[in-house]
Structure 1
């Protein structure tokens, strides 16, 4: 508040000055009139009346000034009280509030600003805003000018840097303080930190985009089952548009294939807060049935169930494919085996009765081809059983030892040895035995006479072991390996058998990987990297050196692991892949 010069003067001084001025005016005027113009001095009574009027006027002016000063003092006390209250409010405000001059120097800085930005008040007062890097000062000046021009901004998005370097997002509202001439003296800014809110909004948008773009049917319901949202995949899978589904219940998908007990158990599960996951057969809008894996979970707030979220994965094609493969496998296993037996029988008769050498050779070729077909049929069954089975834990030392023993019995003229490092007596998926057997058998069947198995820790992942099978054979054709790496065969590019595919499927099934390297024995080396499935260490590993000691050091009683999967390639499975 700007007071006039009179506001600061005492009322008595003003009255006295008014009195002196009046007395001097009366007597000075009389003297001027008498001396200058010869006019006689006024009678005494008139002078007394004039002086009395001056005295009364002086007293009135003094009283009026005193009354005005009291009002001014009351107003100033009120303004000071309001300013003190405002400062208290600003200091106590949880919102960061600061003020700057038009050139960006800080004049006010409340406690919340210190907590928000990290600088204490004494560090910033009189300095340029520390929340802005030097190379971005022009942006602040521009923002201040905009605030002054617009007489304040509201909820303007800005980014500011904390003392520790962290960038935070704010909503800025400004007000302009002007002086008596209307010029801006300060710009006050209130910074509301919206960093977490923005992050939540971004996560919500990302979640919404993920749900919208998901390949699974997703829908939300109220607690009574009324559908409130469906994603595009729901529309594509069920055939119901969003407007057709929202407001309805999941009963629109009811195919009649599931009995009442299914739904009773479903509701009992989700109403207790547990997650339901089961296969279901539903019906599309077109009337076509489809099979899905359905997961339903409750959406809760505290103990209150607000609704449910359901996810359906359409497995209709997978079910049909499994059925087709089952039929084909049965036909391959049963019908092919029967026909092979017939062919072998007739070939054996021909060979026993034939006297012509060429006819005997032809019969032998038929018998050989029949045996190969029988092996293919057995291997196909092994693949089917293995890939549908659940693995169990088994010591890698036992599996390697059994594989060595099995190879020695099948190929008595071959040299099969193994080396297992001491820290590798760990537990892995028992289905790995099939892959090891297949690699050893393939190596010995295709020209190799020496095979060595190494087991050692992975150099890149402490949770995995490496099983390396090396041979001295002719090596693996690059085209054969490229087919495996590509993951599919074509009419012009395909493998020569099922062996490598079987190894690849097994290793993938147990969560490992497969690679091809050159062998120190001169042939090929296949490297399997597989996860350790348990921390147990059972005894010490059995190993043999490379000199050909492939027998005694690796002997293991296979009966000690009766729960494991032992499937030997090229012969009947010794146990089913399920361990039964």
Structure 2
């Protein structure tokens, strides 16, 4: 509204003052413009004429100096002596004088004495500050040179001038290009005969540049032209400077102007191309009078029409600036007057606004405070006063930061205030305020800037909320959160539907699932399938009823590994007592269970070892006590049988023979039992060597050939070639293989099909180690799965006859070799025994 009032009030006065003053100013500016244009045109013409005159005087003086030097040298005694007598002594004197002259003048590119026959007699070159005499062998003949002919043809004391052209050296243009002007005069001996010419070569850039610096302010418009209208010197960087290879000239570029310039000696005129001022000079004046035959140069000052228009635009621009300056003064005066009036109105409106704003701040249930740019309190509402326990007079006009902000936060608050005054507002901040009782209260503030009537920042208004209790609760929550996150136990938080909402880092460490992978899924991602549905139903019924559940899970990690965990699941309730989440705290007890199982296994093995030790001692005692009587019985039966056979061969009937044979077989059976008991009770030490398993198996099969034939069995072998050698006891390993073959033969008894035994060897990589595998398969009745685990226990047997020590001895021998043995049913029927032996020495 203030801006609208300002616009209406100021525009009326602005136009009342501006219209008449603008008309007067426009009249004055127009008059000044046309007057200035007329004076400027006159000044341009006068300046151009002056520039041409000064250039003519400068170049004339330069040319006269050259002519004077040439006349002077043509009359020196040394030259006169050479003209009279061109002998060597006089010639050397001339060369010396010319060298001295060249060094002193430093402007002549060449000084030459050419005889009347065109042969160069002396040539002095001046280059890079050094005057040098040219060797006689390099001197040239100029008899056919037009310049030589013309110079020799003129009268004595006259000067012949060449065009500005490139220098020719040994009938070739000298490079780099050196545009030169040649001055020459005939040389006359005492008898008045022409004996040659004296020539000065002057570089164009050495002679001509000196005529422009004296030409007032128009040096960038002066042109020097020869009588044909070609440039000798031009302010244009791209104008041709020589008479060779040119496709344009001043005469071609300005044909109408050149007609007038070439027809007159001097003058000024203006056409569509621009303003031309010109004058004529004669380079060899006064040695020859002006005529059509005498070479002349033109000095021309050209002010292009574009430049004249530029002066016109410049003059108009000056008038516009003058007019704009007066208009600007009027605008500024009007603006200042309007601003004063508007400021008074804005100050009044600002005060009214502040009164209303403070009344609003008193009525809200939030803390409010206003600070000036120095940090002093200008306003504080009653809500804040009640919170901190101070009275109104204790706060107003006091330093807020020094008196009420906690010591540790003063610097931060000072920085916030300083940045706000600089225009960089921190919109939200928290500070601790000291109360009258010495305590501190934490407030969260929302900041806004305060402005004066001129819209300048003058203070800071803060509206805040006491968050002391909220901060305390949040801090407790953060501590709890850190405790859960840093807990050594895996923690899962799910909603009531079992969807995971949080897992800590230990969960990831235990299961391999990251938080991003677990959140949003169900804990069933850990299922291994070993926990039945009944247990899960009991779990949900327990926690849904608000109780705590404890139990074991055999779960599966992300990488597929199984592990055991002990889990406690507790419901979490909101303030209304409703269950909102479930908290599961887990403990990895895999290692614990492994150790427990290992202890149990060790205890069983220890008890079994102790029992076997007792059995072994008893077996040793029994075997020792029974072996001698059995040996006597066996010996008696054998002697008895031999004697009876000899004496009563006819009368010894078949029944008596059969009884004797049965008695011997029973004795042998008892001896085998005693041998097994002794071997089991006192295992022998190994006598190891490097063995070929394939050969050892063949030897074992041959030793059991009798038993194989008795059972009418078929034995097939499938050996892997180039098996690694095995380090072991040949006798004991042959006993192992023999027992397994005999067991396989006994397993095929009483079957309707022909007994078959298959022996296979192969090489396998187990636990990063190369091992040899031997398989014994039969086509018998097979094994009961429950028997496979106890068949290796001592004294356990499924046969009518036997001690149950065969497989126990086999296992003990393989244990001594750090080997393994396992029993299983074959997929095609029958049983399969697998023996695995290491390939390297065992320790």
In our comparison, the structure showing a higher alpha carbon Rg is 2
TM-score by length of 1: 0.40
TM-score by length of 2: 0.28
